[in-house]
Every structure is written in structure tokens, then in C-alpha cells.
Amino acid sequence: METLRSARVRDLVGLLARVVLGAVVLAAGALKVGHPETSARSVRAYQLLPFDVAGYVGYALPILEIAVGILLVVGLFTRVNAVIGGVLMGAFIVGIASAWARGLSIDCGCFGHGGTIAASQTQYPQEIARDLGLLACAVWLAVRPRTAYSLDRLLFPGAGTTVPHPDEGSVA
């Protein structure tokens, strides 16, 4: 039996996960969108994709991040955008871990910049930890996409949930 309190806690966790993941992804895209060459250089620095493909990914990534970030922040199509955000975080974790394992000294390019840096300036463990936290947010939202203060809840009331909104009382 779920209580009103546990439903509210779940709603709060979902809201925080949605806003944190959305805001970080949105900020990352916004900081890169005005500098597409830098974004492309960042993706190429990982040396995981063919040169031209990495360039296309670098150009497209900020636009995708902005779209996913906005939709997460406002809570529209939360599950789909959480899955996309989770795939992005997984790809970023693999890329960073790969660069670290291969001894590359690069800035992750997560918030602009990117490219080669001094070995003493790499922050691979911190970057992986950050992305693991964001991946956890994405997983939570993929499993429980219904969150407080979301357009999903406003536009699609009752869709995808067997639990009433906390304002509707206790669940039997």
C-alpha cells in the first residue's frame, strides 16, 4: 500500500531528477551551440569515430542536448527524453573511460572547450562520477516518468500511472 507521503517523496525525487538532468544537458548544449567547430573538435579528440562522422556528431550534439534539456525541464515526453539523456550519459561515460584507458589527455568537451590538455589537467574520475549521477537520474525517470509540475501530468492526466497524484489522497 502506497501512502500519500511515499507518493510525494517519489514525486519530489522525480522532479529533482528531471530538473537536474534537464538543466545540465540544456546547459551543456547551450554552451556548445554557438561554437560548432569547437564541439566537433571535442568529439574528434576522443578518436572513437571516423573524422567526418565525429564532425557531424559534434555539430548535432548541442542541438540534441538543448532539445532534450528543455523537454526534461518542462516535463514533456519525460520517459523518451530520459532514455535519450541516459543513452547520452552512457556514451559520455564510455568515451571518457576510453580516453582515460588509452592515455589521452583531453578535456571532455562537456560544457564547451574540449580538445587536448595537459595530462595533469584531466578530470576523468570526476567526469565519470558526474555522468554516473546523471545516468541514475535518467534511469529513475525512465522507470518513473510521472513527476510533479510536469507538462506530461498536465496534458496527459492519468496516463501511464496507477497511482493517483498525491493531491488526490491516499492509495489503497
What is the 3 state secondary structure string of 92-160?
HHHHHHHHHHCCCCEECCCCCCCEECCHHHCCHHHHHHHHHHHHHHHHHHHHCCCCCCCHHHHHCCCCC
With cell 493517483, the residue in question is 164
The Cβ-side half-sphere exposure at 156, using a 13 Å CA radius, reads 13
Is pLDDT above 80 for 164? Answer: no
- CA distance to 11, 68, 129, 146, 151, per residue, from 161 (Å): 12, 22, 31, 7, 15
Q: What is the pLDDT of residues 86-142, one digit of tens each?
A: 999 999 999 999 999 999 999 999 998 888 899 999 999 999 999 999 999 999 999
Q: Answer whether 26's CB lies under 8 Å from 70's CB.
A: yes
Those residues with Cβ within 8 angstroms of residue 91's Cβ, 6 or more apart along the chain or in another chain: none
Categorize the per-residue pLDDT at 161 as very low, low, confident or very high, splitting at 50, 70 and 90. low
Is pLDDT above 80 for 165? Answer: no
Locate 146 and state its grid cell. 510521472
Is pLDDT above 60 for 166? Answer: no
